[in-house]
Amino acid sequence: MSQIDRFEAKARLENLFAESKANNEGAGIPEVVEAVLGDDADEEIVELVLMAMEDSGEISSEEILDGILKLHEWRLNQT
């Protein structure tokens, strides 16, 4: 697993949201996590993000980005 470039992750996330909006579709959590983490996205981190977002209500894309990056960093520190 590698460090994630925040600027690039934000651009990928914004692109995903723009495409989803243009297609009148929502973006699923697995797609959001993959947009932020790229190749570092896996089932475990998707599950962690799902649990974290279950009761989150409305949150901004910046908060989503920060949360996923912090979970990723936490997981890297656990290994």
Tens-digit pLDDT profile for residues 12-69: 999 999 999 999 998 999 999 999 999 899 999 999 999 988 877 888 999 999 999 9
Work out the burial of residue 65: count CB atoms within 10 Å of its CB; fewer than 13 is exposed, 13-18 middle, 19 or more buried: buried
pLDDT at 77 over 60: yes
Q: What's residue 2's pLDDT?
A: 62
Structural domain of 49: 6-78
- Name the domain count of the chain: 1
- Examine residue 11 and state whether it is found in any structural domain, yes or no: yes
Q: Is the pTM of this model over 0.85?
A: yes
Cβ atoms of 30 and 7 within 8 Å: the answer is no
Token pair for residue 40?
């570092």
Q: What's residue 53's pLDDT?
A: 85
